[in-house]
Amino acid sequence: MEDSATKVTERKKGRVKDDGKKKRKREKVDVDSGREGEEELSEKRAKKEKKERKKEKKEKKERKKKRRKSEVEVGAKVEEGDAEAQVQIEDEENKTKKPTPPTEELSEPKKKREKKKKRKSEVDPESTEVSEPAPLPKHLSILEKLRKVKERVSSTSTPTTDAPATTEAQEQLPAPAGLEPIPQPPLTKSTKPPIPLSSALPPWLANPITINPTSTQLFSEITCISPKLQSRLSALSMNSAFAVQSAVIPRLLSIDGGDMCISAATGSGKTLAYVLPIIQALSNRVVTRLRAVVVVPTRELVSQVHSVARSLSTGTGLKIGTAVGSKALSLEQAQLVDEEEGASKVDVLVCTPGRLVEHIKTTKGFTLRYLKWLVIDEADRLLAQSFQEWVSTLIGEIERGDVSVQGEGMERVLEDLGIRRKPPGSSVRKVVLSATMTRDAGKLSDLKLRKACMISVESEPPPVPQGKDNGEGEEEEETFTLPPTLQELLIPITDTSLKPLTLVSYLLTLPPIPQVLIFTSSNTTATRLSTLLSSFSSHPSLPPTSPAASWLTQAITSETPQKHRTRSIRAFKKREVGILVCSDLVARGLDIENVEVVMNYEVPVSVRGYVHRVGRTARAGRKGLAVSLVGEKEAGWFWKKVGGKGVRRSSGIEKVGGVEFPGEGMGWRGVFEQVLYG
């Protein structure tokens, strides 16, 4: 039994081995068959690629054959033409010359050699004969050969060259149709006359009313001024009116007058010209309401206009208020508006544009419904800057308030019927002033002026600009006017390191206690220069007899707190301070009496800035001196712009020779160098 069982197991194992061997054989057969199939596919692909290559080669050969045939045909035609031309030339020579024995014809190998030489001369770029710089396209070469054949056949009387230059043939080829250059007219300079700006300006702006600046008139002769104000002017020792005052005050006091733009030099009395009519027009009011707003660009001007208005309104009961950014808004709101009743506490408000917009938007009870006067002083600066879009905000508030007033009583009924007697804002009298008044109709149109007129205080009417371009590519310059009593000097600076010495040397030539304004272009320079002059004048090594020992110097910049500014200006007015170094902050509108000299330590960036700087002296008919320290790089611009036709002056700018000062370490220069270098 055991033997039979072992035999069965052995048989099973043998069967399993046989089955495994069969499986391996099948797998090998399958793998071999797969490999054979892949090989057959690759062979088929290779055969197809060979066939395609053969076809491409055959096609290339056929193309080459065709090209050769065409070239051979063209060459045969050329040779035939050459042969005919040669025969004709020989016939003519035979007619003129004696007969010569016939020459033997060239053998065929010689002809082949000559043809090869010709081909080499055409192809080889290094040959001595003329060859084309670059191969021509095939169609152009064929056209060229045909043209040569025609020329050689037609020109039988003149000999032809064997190998003409291909560049000449290229030039003779016709241009492709439709690509010929279009003839252009010759360039000429435009001869159109410049379009005058007066054709686009309104008549009142193009043709201003011109007033002679030297004309004066007594206030007693201006009959429209009330006796009360006449006595007040006499008490203030104001007896004679300047040209701008005698021209503006009667027009502003007239009932039928419209809005007004005033252009007058600095120090000509513009502030009194508009403050006096406002005080007289509002002096009969019964209830305190905000009826006049004066907008100025700086806090110093707010203080100046406020003091003039208060001095004139004494005895009238009018209340004058101010609004500037240096004060707390809540404190100003309590000073301007009654919180309980919501009524105005002031009749006239002098303010800066930014703070005015804040009160319009945030102050409860602040309204312009009863406004009768709107004054914009230093308008060129205010209109050139946005200040929180103050123009559109202010004019919009005026129009809304005027509509609400017109809606009362009978006018409300007329408005419901679509009838309005006056346009909104027409009841407000607008006065726009500046020493450099803009004639930009676009900027002035934002103010919505009504029945406007332009008054220009100048000896001659200002020229009307001829547009943005005067025909020579240069922009037309603005025109400015300086006071006739102003003298201008220029001191050239060859070495910028010597500019402080030059300044001190000139200051030492002035009276012992001068009233001098020194302008710089930056706050840093103003502060450093003030410190330098103060240290120099108080240095212990400086002799007490030196004029510099009496110098008292202070500085005013935009970074100076308002209290210090006010204190410094007050001290300068009282002659407690003799030299005031300041940035362009004080260059506009500030009225300081008895300023004898204005010095430009740094040249201003614009002509407008120069006019406002030097306008701090020679005010109200008094004499003044303006001195500019100009470096070599700035001299060209200064003479062209400041000393050019754009600035109208009674006398020209005088150039002063180099200022002399002691040698190094000698005299006052030694003291100054100790302060400067330590």
Q: According to the model, what pLDDT value does residue 563 have? A: 87
Q: Which of the two residues, 265 and 169, has the higher pLDDT score?
A: 265
| Band (178; pLDDT cuts 50, 70, 90) | low
Per DSSP, 197 falls in state G
Please name the amino acid found at residue 72.
Answer: V
| Band (410; pLDDT cuts 50, 70, 90) | low
Does residue 25 register a pLDDT over 60? yes
Per DSSP, 337 falls in state B
Most confident of 182-196, 198-212, 490-504: 490-504
Q: According to the model, what pLDDT value does residue 299 have? A: 87
Does residue 494 register a pLDDT over 60? yes
Q: Which of the two residues, 443 and 578, has the higher pLDDT score?
A: 578
Q: According to the model, what pLDDT value does residue 221 have? A: 93
Give strand pairing partners of 348.
292, 320
Per DSSP, 200 falls in state T
The average pLDDT across 334-355 equals 92
Q: According to the model, what pLDDT value does residue 252 have? A: 94
Does residue 33 register a pLDDT over 70? no
Q: Judge contact between 354 and 296, C-beta under 8 A.
A: no
Q: Which of the two residues, 407 and 383, has the higher pLDDT score?
A: 383
Find the angle CA(233)-CA(239)-CA(245) to the nearest 5 degrees.
85
The average pLDDT across 486-504 equals 93
Neighbours of 35 (CB within 10 A): 10
| Band (144; pLDDT cuts 50, 70, 90) | confident
Does residue 108 register a pLDDT over 60? no
Does residue 633 register a pLDDT over 60? yes
Q: Going by C-beta distance under 8 Å and a sequence separation of 6 or more, which residues neighbour residue 2?
A: none
Q: According to the model, what pLDDT value does residue 345 have? A: 95
Q: According to the model, what pLDDT value does residue 336 have? A: 95
Q: According to the model, what pLDDT value does residue 126 have? A: 43
Q: According to the model, what pLDDT value does residue 462 have? A: 60
Sign of CA dihedral 531, 534, 537, 538: negative
Q: Judge contact between 412 and 381, C-beta under 8 A.
A: no
The answer to whether the predicted template modeling score (pTM) of the entire model surpasses 0.85 is no
| Band (357; pLDDT cuts 50, 70, 90) | very high
In whole numbers, what is the pLDDT of the chain averaged over residues? 80
Superfamily designation of domain 480-677: P-loop containing nucleotide triphosphate hydrolases (3.40.50.300)
**CA dist., res. 532 & res. 554, Å (int):** 11
Q: According to the model, what pLDDT value does residue 408 have? A: 53
Q: According to the model, what pLDDT value does residue 349 have? A: 97
Range in 87-96, 427-436, 634-643, 651-660 with the lowest mean pLDDT: 87-96
Does residue 161 register a pLDDT over 80? no
For the chain, domain boundaries: 203-403+426-457, 480-677
- Rounded to the nearest 10 degrees, how much is the dihedral formed by the CA atoms of 211, 213, 217, 219? 90
Identify the three-state secondary structure at position 543: coil
Per DSSP, 181 falls in state P
Q: According to the model, what pLDDT value does residue 133 have? A: 52
Q: Distance of CA 242 to CAs 301, 309, 592, Å?
A: 20, 18, 17
Does residue 470 register a pLDDT over 50? no
Q: Judge contact between 496 and 634, C-beta under 8 A.
A: no
pLDDT tens, residue by residue, 634-645: 999 999 999 988
The average pLDDT across 494-515 equals 89
Give strand pairing partners of 240.
218
Instruction: Kindly list the strands in the beta sheet with 553-556, ordered across the sheet, starting from the edge strand earlier in the chain.
Output: 553-556, 579-582, 516-519, 597-600, 624-631, 486-493, 654-655
| Band (191; pLDDT cuts 50, 70, 90) | low
| Band (340; pLDDT cuts 50, 70, 90) | confident
Find the angle CA(556)-CA(561)-CA(565) to the nearest 5 degrees.
45
pLDDT tens, residue by residue, 267-318: 888 999 999 999 999 998 889 999 999 999 988 899 999 999 999 999 999 9
Would the CATH topology of 203-403+426-457 be identical to that of 480-677? yes
Give DSSP secondary structure letters for 404-457: HHHTSTHHHHHHHTT--SS-TTTTSEEEEEETT----HHHHHTT--SS-EEEEE
pLDDT tens, residue by residue, 208-249: 999 988 888 999 999 999 999 999 999 999 999 999 999 999
The average pLDDT across 633-658 equals 90
Q: Going by C-beta distance under 8 Å and a sequence separation of 6 or more, which residues neighbour residue 639?
A: 653
| Band (385; pLDDT cuts 50, 70, 90) | confident
| Band (104; pLDDT cuts 50, 70, 90) | very low
pLDDT tens, residue by residue, 40-62: 777 888 888 888 888 888 888 88
The first and second tokens of residue 632, run together, are: 């070599």
Of residues 318, 258, 626, the one with CA closest to residue 451: 258
Q: What is the 3-state secondary structure (H, E, C) of 222-287?
A: CCCCCHHHHHHHHHCCCCEECHHHHHHHHHHHCCCCCCEEEECCCCCCHHHHHHHHHHHHHCCCCC
Does residue 120 register a pLDDT over 60? no
pLDDT tens, residue by residue, 532-555: 999 999 998 888 888 888 888 999
Q: Which of the two residues, 336 and 405, has the higher pLDDT score?
A: 336
Neighbours of 299 (CB within 10 A): 20
Pick one of 3.10.105.10, 3.40.50.300, 1.50.10.20, 3.20.20.210 as the CATH number of 203-403+426-457: 3.40.50.300
Q: Which of the two residues, 407 and 367, has the higher pLDDT score?
A: 367
| Percentage, residues of the chain above pLDDT 70 | 74
Neighbours of 87 (CB within 10 A): 11
| Percentage, residues of the chain above pLDDT 90 | 37
Give DSSP secondary structure letters for 380-394: HHHHHS-TTTHHHHH
Give strand pairing partners of 154.
none
